[in-house]
Amino acid sequence: MKKFAFLLGVFLLMSPAVPLLADNHNGEDNPIPENLPVPAIIIEEPPEQIEDVAWTYRFLIPTTVAIATLVILGNIIQYFRQVTRKRYKVIEK
């Protein structure tokens, strides 16, 4: 097992992918290599605009979820109040 781990480590160190993993970042935000020509027009992407969600999505959906949760809880409570109460009766002798 140690021999396998050693050979795997040597293989990984000698593989051609190791130079690709090295960080060649020189500290600039947008580095342009010297061997490439400078583009004539630099196109900057506009910043992302945060869309304001519609009021229906913002208010009606949470309200609907809350009402549905209350209805489900109410049904569970009513079930236990009506069905479980009638299940067992005390018989006096």
Between residues 16 and 52, which one has the greater pLDDT?
A: 52
The kind and range of the H/E element at 2 are: helix 2-14
Q: Is the pLDDT of residue 27 over 60?
A: no
The kind and range of the H/E element at 51 are: none
How far is the first Cα of the chain from the last one, in angstroms, to the nearest whole number? 79
Q: Which phi and psi (to 5°) does residue 23 adopt?
A: -90, 110
pLDDT in tens, 28-41: 555 556 787 877 88
Domain coordinates in residue numbering, the chain:
55-86
Give how far Cα 91 sits from Cα of 3, 10, 22, 51, Å: 80, 83, 84, 67
Q: Is the pLDDT of residue 16 over 90?
A: no
